[in-house]
Structure 1
């Protein structure tokens, strides 16, 4: 199995991102009308030299919920670990409004690259990140945390990659500021092989709200 990169000190295998959808419902519904949206090139990652203001990092606190108002996402988060094969486990496919975060990696809001993953669909139809490919640069992602604080991220880019050309370092590489990646399946759909790649949202911390007392 091809390795696709490292988060912290732990390697994660290709199934990390390719196991986030079944595509079964597409076979009956037809891919022309019901396939999830894919990001246009205009939403791609900006030049590295483009200045983007970032908020100071937060103290670590486990995330509990992710909200993306622009695509109507409001979902609880579960912790994800590695499987015995070294790949990132995924949320249960039958819980379509559940996402997960890699709990052995960076906590959303602290310095580094935090990773959230969720299904694009299941056997019954669209799941939590079905519309992820429709997200635009500048959109807001909010992550509720166990300590009552809310980490607020701004989307820098939305990109789609084929499975065989997945840019490990670009997606999972270390960051000097608090960053977030939100990942699901995408890149078109084939009846023979399923989804052909992955949609990846790049975001960075631009604010926070203190715990309510």
Structure 2
């Protein structure tokens, strides 16, 4: 059964066209200079920014689903995710599942009882990843997922992402960290304003 995420001739905000395929259980890395539109591309795939083109999972087009339903399958995690309340726990659909992942990302056991305003940037970043994972998406669109983390915590995140891929979740990751890209990638594209260039692995 074809379960790839297909992005074909995607355009928006004067950028593109972008064409690529993200496979389940694999990591595709997006690199490129700041300002070329990497975050915008992720947001367009998630249907959070206006865009034109074809996006589908297997034979199921994005247009056949509501926006919220699509984003449950293809979940975007921003470098600085939004928080709509100051109570951390209220942001999680399954707090028990979230608690099981805290230790994996070197987070303290009681952090779900904390206030968002008291969290560090790195804590918010890791909690946003957990928030996405407990929803069990088919694909994760990750924008600089370790940009605010030290080396040990970065390794912890990468280890969890490898386990996530082993469970069949596909990753599309924006990263400026060349060493991280080399560790995680199964494919890599360099993004320019007018399209994507496939890089050798």
TM-score, normalised with respect to structure 2: 0.30
Larger relative contact order (CA 8 Å, sep ≥ 6): 2
